[in-house]
Structure 1
Amino acid sequence: MTERGLLDLHRGAHDRPTLGFLVPVLAGPAEQADARPVIARLLALRPIDAGVFALLKQPGLTARTSETYLIRRFGNLIEYLSPLLDGSEPLTKRLAVNTEGLIDVEALKQPGLFHHGRHYAFTESFAVSRRIPGTDWVLVHRIGAAEALAASDARRMTLISGLAVLVVLIGAALVLVWFYASSRRAEEVAERYRLSSERFERLSGFLDILTDSQPNPILVVDANNRLTYANQRLSEFSGIARAELIGRSLTGVLGQEAGRRYGAINRLVLESGEPRVEIEHLPGKQPSTEVEGFIVRRSKHG
């Protein structure tokens, strides 16, 4: 056998990780290399120190959970050949190959792919792997899933927060627009009511001027025979202040007899819906005064 060999990584003297190289020693001239017999084999052992494992570190990589390590299959176990982030020394950690969800199991089965699962400390991780030519070693580079996704999670939260703020601003703008529109509508309604009130006051004043200029008492009653309007002449006729007439009953203003008579006429108007004209001579302070009653039903209350 003229090929060179490799004594796989193992614990050597002083319990140090050691790698062996086997080199054949051939007899005869160098020109006849293929026909030269092997007269000896030279085994060189080299301890692997921290400087060799330092080559596994990725320069410029600052991720806290990122690490690169070597593994191989050892029977039904996974053997870790290099130092680990949890403080394990080379060749000191082994896990069963049937450990469920372990990324290192997938790396041994299918090196060269992307893996997602749990690492040796059973933390959710992402990893990539590659086989080392000429050996049964597999190089694994892994990073914690939480740290790997932290940037995207932060961007997502920033986006969600921005969208939430935008929704709040849009909602606030809609509320302000609605409030402004409602205020404008309320102002318009209030202005219409103010104009209507002023117009009503002018009409009421004009009505007072017209009715107060009449020589006869004029009054308006509701369905309960209570006064809702009276002119100044009725106040003078009854001897009751004009402001106190509103709300009084017919009998309280005109007396029992006249009040009952006009109350009956009011009921007839309410029942028939037709106007009536009555001419009466009312007894009282001015017995010769004629009162003309023209009662017209203007609403359901008379």
Structure 2
Amino acid sequence: MADKNTPAPQDPSQLKIKTPAIPEAPVKRPLNLKTLAAFLFLGIFTVGGILAILSFVRSEKERTLRDWQIQMGLVVETRAAAVEGWLGSQFDILRSIASNESQKIYIDNLLDAAVPPEKKEGAEGFLRNYLKRVAEQNGFVTPPPALEINANVVREGIAGIAVVSPNGQVLVASEFLPALKEDGFLDVLKENAARQRGLWNMRLDGEGQPSLGFIVPIYPIDAKDNAKPIAYVVGLKQVAKELFPLMSQPGETLKSAENLIVQEKPGTSGSTVQYLSPRRLPLPNGTKPMTADSPNDPANSASAFALSKPGGFQIRPSYGNVPSLVLGRKIAGTPWVVLRTADKEEALGPSEKRQQAMLIGFVLVLGLASVSMATAWKHGAELRASAEAQRLKIAAERFTGFSKFLRVITDNQPTAIAAVDAGGKYSFANRTLADAAGITTEEVSGKTMPAVIGPVRAAAYQKINKQVIDELYPGWPADRTEGKWQPQKGRFEFEEGGKKKYTKTDHIPLRADRDHPPGVLLIEQDITEFITEREKRERMFRGLIDAFVKEVDGRQAESAR
């Protein structure tokens, strides 16, 4: 009879429990789209600002480098033009000799084998005096010795002007002219056969001083276009005092700037760079002309870079291994390059400091603007969060009160109510169940069914629990698709303490959620007293029936007698 009055279990997902309504917070909550847009704007503003600042600073650096390239290019052009002008003036001196028609007559006399010897001697004497005078006027002379020497010692010549035949034989020369069949002079003479002029490249003379040779062809009188030279004017001179001062730039403002003449060192197959002009470092005396070399490595050498890319501008290590601005310019008619270097720190240091200050300033302004916007947004977010927190606090208090209300209801039920998972572990139990186990409701949570109600009852209940869960989630945990929601009932007879115990159970499936796996709401009702009382009544009823039957049987027997 009790079973008929027990209400049928319901699907928890279909229950409609009325909870107190939670009013909205007084502060209007913005849409998530607006928050996202605010974050997006702040991010774009910050990133765009940083990129703009970096782009501006980079453009300033590029502009500064362009300015230095122009400035250094002007200096190199003027120095190269000065060198080319000086070289041209030396050739002009010799060309004035080669183009003198009267001198050509004397040269013809020297070359003509039919001219009498006395006439040749006169022509030779006249030309020698002429060459001596031109040489003395233009520096093609051997300088006086630094120390007095014995008058009987013949001094070796190092400079002078001479007229030579096409095969290199000296026809006439000024005083102290060195030997011309050395140092590749004949090779230079052959190379000049089809040119208007030739340069005997710089070398160290007998006194260890840099010397240059100049060659200009002499054509016959009334020569035609295809005429060959009848002789050559050759001039030799020391150039340190005339050429190297041209490297000094008037009005130089950079202390580290240096203008040098470099070339690929002859005989090294281009693997070595030779410094023709003196270098300032190491202090105090620097290095002498043509005594310093360096590897031809354009990636790690300023001089090598200038040789490989005349007119190119770059930052490369100087010969002192200091990062420097470098620019070079080829000198026409020579294998030389005018090289200008300037210490990067001295040249770009002030502008880099200024650019760094601008970068810091712009970043600070951008940071201040970004922080201001972020602070304003954060303040609004805090207001919204405070209102939301207050609303959630009220909801939590109401939920707590409602939970207490439900706890009061469940704890005052005569049946044992519990929630267990597939492993038989309790996640909820009412006071009836806890009192029966002799522990508190808090202690029941987390324990297994055998530890609370004993292994016999636990095994019987858990068997039905497993069936209920398997019907609800056939593929759990790999497949979370729901199957059939089907509660089940059970009646059990146990023996505890030598006495029989009867229970009735309801097994209601619980769906899995975010925090809990699938489980079973187990409602256990102890019907031992009811069954015992019913059996007692049945025994009494059977006793009455037996007595009645005996009475009837006795009366029938008496009637038969």
- After TM superposition, the score normalised by the length of structure 2 is 0.28
Q: Which has the higher strand share?
A: 1
When Rg is computed on C-alpha atoms for both structures, the one with the higher figure is 2
Higher relative contact order (CA 8 A, sep 6+): 2
- After TM superposition, the score normalised by the length of structure 1 is 0.50
Q: Which has the higher helix share?
A: 2
